[in-house]
Amino acid sequence: MIGSGKVTAEALSDAMVKNWAIEGGGPFPFPFAFGNGFYNIPVINHDGTGMMSAVIALLVILLFEHRKNLSGKFVLTILLSAMALIDEIWFVFFITAAILFLIIKQFQLKRLPNRDTLIEILLIIVLPIIFSILQGGVLTGVSKGLLQAIIGNGSAASSQYYSINFPIRWPPAIISAHLGVLSLVNWAQLIVAICEVGPVFLMIPLFVCFGIKSFRAKQNIYSILAIGVVLSLLMIFVEYQGSAGISASKRLNLFAFELLNLFTVPLLWFWLSKKKIQIKMLSSGIAFATMLGGMIYFLISSIAIQRPVLSYYIDLMDASVQNLYWNTLDENAMVFDFDPARSATIFARPLKSSESWYELKPEYRQLMRNPDPYILNDAGYTHFYLTGSGYESLLQRSRNLLSDSCINVVYEKEDWKGDFRWLLDISACKK
C-alpha cells in the first residue's frame, strides 16, 4: 500500500471495509473499495487539467483523417502542441507511434517520402516536438536538463525538478497509486492487478487486430493508436524513477488502457452484432460492473455539491479575503505569505518563492526567517499577508516594524477565537 491507500489502512483487506482517507472529502466519505488506484475516476478528476487531455485526444482522433489541406494539418499541430502541455506521456507515445508508423509505411511503399508526406511530417511531428521543447511544461524541463547534462553542466542538470530515469524492470508489474507495485508473476498480485485494470485488458487483441485492418484500409490514425497501445503495454517492463514518485509510473500504461476504454463500446458493438444473446447479456453485465464504482462516486459527489470543501491550507477567513481581493490587486503586485501557495490562491498573483512545486528558494526561506517589510519591498513584494499564527512566529523586532508609518492596512479582520488576517500594503517601505 502506498499514498492515500497506506493512509487508509496498512493492508488491502482492511482498506476494503474502510472509507478512503483523503483530504477535502464531502459530507459522505468515499468507500475505498469502489475507488481505483490505476485510473483517474472522471467524476472526481478535479485537478488543474481535468478531462482536457481526453478532449484533445478525441479531437486529434476525429480530425486526423480530415487533414486534407494545410489548415487541417496545422490544426493538428496546435492540438498536439497543446497535448504536450496537458499530458506529456500521451504526446510522447503518440509521436513515437506516428514515427514508427511512417517508417513501416515507407518500407511497405519501398520509396522515400514524397512532398505531401514531408509536409505532414513537418506539421504533425517536427513542429509539435519543437513547440514541446520551447513552450514550457514537463518536456521543456526534461529537455533543458538533458541539454545541460550533454554539454557538461552537471550541477545545473541535477537541480532540474523533472528528473527522470527508466531502468528495465523484472518481473513485469502494474503500478497502482493505492496498492503500489503489483507483480504480474505473483498470482495473488496478478489477480489484484487484473481487478485494478478491469476487464478492458481483454480488448487488447481486438484493438491490435483493428489497427492491422485499419492499416490495410489506409485509416492511419487507428494504426498509429494501435502501435501506441503496444508500446504503452510494453512499459510493464520499464520502471519510472524520478521526482514525480513511483505512482507516476502508471501513466506509462494508462495511454494504452485509456484508449482501450475509449474504443471498447464501438469495437464491442461491431463484434457483438452477430453474437448470441447470452454473450451480449454477459458483456453488458461486465460493462455495468466496470461503471459501478464511478456511479457510486458520482452519487456521493452529487450530494456534496451543496457543501463546498476548502483546501487544507485555506480556511473560512482566507476564503473571505479571497472573495474580496481575488485578482483585484495591481497586476504587478506580489504578496508575501509564510505559505506561498495560499498567497497565489487567494490573490491570483504569482510570487518568486519556489524552485519547483515543493522546494522553496533559499532567499524566500531567508525572508520567512526575517520578514522585514523594507527587505520584502526591496525583494519586489508589494503586500504582506499575515495570519494570527504567522504573527505569533515573528520576532519582536519584526512585530514593531509592522507599525511603521510606511505600512498601510488594506484589510484587517479577527474572529471570535482571536485568529485574524491582515493584508498590509508595504509598497511605500523604502530603505
Instruction: Record the cell numbers describing residue 257, joined without a space.
Output: 488502457
- Rounded to two decimals, what is the model's pTM? 0.78
Mean pLDDT of 320-336: 92
* pLDDT surpassing 70 at residue 358: no
* pLDDT surpassing 80 at residue 244: no
Residue 354 to residue 364: CA distance in whole angstroms: 8
CA of residue 316 relative to chain centroid, distance: 27
For residue 30, which amino acid is it? F
Kindly report whether the peptide bond that precedes residue 171 is cis, defined as omega within 30 degrees of 0. yes
- Between residues 157 and 145, the one the model is more confident about: 145
For residue 153, what pLDDT is reported?
58
- Between residues 378 and 169, the one the model is more confident about: 378
* pLDDT surpassing 70 at residue 164: no
Say which residues have a Cβ less than 8 Å from residue 357's Cβ, sequence separation at least 6: 161
* pLDDT surpassing 60 at residue 129: yes
For residue 37, what pLDDT is reported?
81
For residue 354, which amino acid is it? S
383 confidence band (pLDDT: 50, 70, 90): very high
Mean pLDDT of 5-30: 81
* pLDDT surpassing 90 at residue 236: no
pLDDT digits (tens, 9 = 90+) for 92-115: 999 999 999 999 988 888 888 888
For residue 421, what pLDDT is reported?
92
For residue 227, which amino acid is it? I
Residue 288 to residue 294: CA distance in whole angstroms: 10
Phi and psi based region of residue 418 (left: phi greater than 0; alpha: psi -120 to 50; beta: remaining): left
For residue 300, what pLDDT is reported?
87
CA dist list (Å): 36 to 8, 197, 261, 297:
13, 9, 15, 11
For residue 65, what pLDDT is reported?
83
Residue burial 85-110, b: 16+ Cβ < 10 Å; e: rest = bbbbbbbbbbbbbbebbbeeeeeeee
Mean pLDDT of 31-53: 80
Tell me, what DSSP letter sits at residue 77?
Answer: H
For residue 227, what pLDDT is reported?
94
For residue 242, what pLDDT is reported?
65
* pLDDT surpassing 80 at residue 179: yes
In sequence order, what E strands does 264-417 have? Answer: 335-336, 383-387, 408-414
For residue 157, what pLDDT is reported?
47
Q: Which residue has the cell 455539491?
A: 305
Residue 138 to residue 123: CA distance in whole angstroms: 21
Residue 178 to residue 31: CA distance in whole angstroms: 13
For residue 172, which amino acid is it? P
Say which residues have a Cβ less than 8 Å from residue 260's Cβ, sequence separation at least 6: 200, 201, 203, 204, 207, 229
Tell me the pLDDT of the chain averaged across its residues.
85
* pLDDT surpassing 70 at residue 29: yes
342, 313 contact by CB (below 8 A): yes
Share above pLDDT 70 across residues of the chain, in percent, rounded to a whole number? 94
